[in-house]
Amino acid sequence: MKKTIYVYIIYMHNSIDFDKIINDTKIFIDTYLLPLILSLGEPLEGNLFMYHLTTTYYNEFVQKQKNLILTTNRVNVVDVLEIGFNSGFSAVLLLNSNPNIVLSCVDIGIHAYTIPCYNKIKEFYGDRINLHLGNSVDVVPKLTILYDVIHIDGSHEERVAREDIINSYYISKSNAIIIMDGL
């Protein structure tokens, strides 16, 4: 069976309240995740909102945030995979984008804040989020469901990123959208 995979979306949709979704996500991050991360004393890795080793929001990332919102804010999107959970900031954005999605996340789990952040997000979003710990090259081929949207933002090593793309293809539904964050 032939699959159609859309690699990236770059258009805007007027009926989505992007600002509300982004602001609600920032409120969650500021209220629950950043205090947790700061209490652990480990510097924060770069993410969809902040540059590496900072806790300052940057407007340069807004278009990427809007693209993620746009891809998940469709009626037929239910199963979403995120490779590279880190602190969960983009996971919260995805969950806020569409109340019907179920988000599976894969992360190597090397940061002290990864599990505490996941647990805090799980406390609010319940069964809508699940975390699979381990190297994505090993974990993704073992996933048993097919996904509507896959966001790859794990390892920025070319070999791993290439394997993540290939493995994602095999667990994507027909007409799935795969978004690859830059290397």
CA distance 65 to 59: 10
Give me the mean pLDDT over the 57-85 stretch.
94
Our measurement of the distance from residue 127's CA atom to the centroid of its chain's CA atoms, rounded to an integer in Å, reads: 16
Query: What pLDDT score does 15 carry?
Result: 85
pLDDT at 104 over 80: yes
Q: Which pTM was predicted? A: 0.91
pLDDT at 6 over 60: no
CA distance 118 to 130: 8
Q: Which fold has domain 18-180?
A: Rossmann fold (3.40.50)
pLDDT digit string, tens, across residues 30-43 = 999 999 999 999 99
Give me the mean pLDDT over the 79-98 stretch.
98
Give me the mean pLDDT over the 106-131 stretch.
98
* 176 within 8 A of 149, measured Cβ to Cβ: yes
Mean pLDDT of the chain: 92
Query: What pLDDT score does 113 carry?
Result: 98
CA distance 149 to 131: 16
Query: What pLDDT score does 9 carry?
Result: 45
The mean-pLDDT minimum among 5-9, 116-120, 164-168 falls in: 5-9
DSSP conformational letter for 111 = S
CA distance 152 to 31: 26
Give domain limits for the chain.
18-180
Give me the mean pLDDT over the 66-87 stretch.
94
Our measurement of the distance from residue 59's CA atom to the centroid of its chain's CA atoms, rounded to an integer in Å, reads: 18
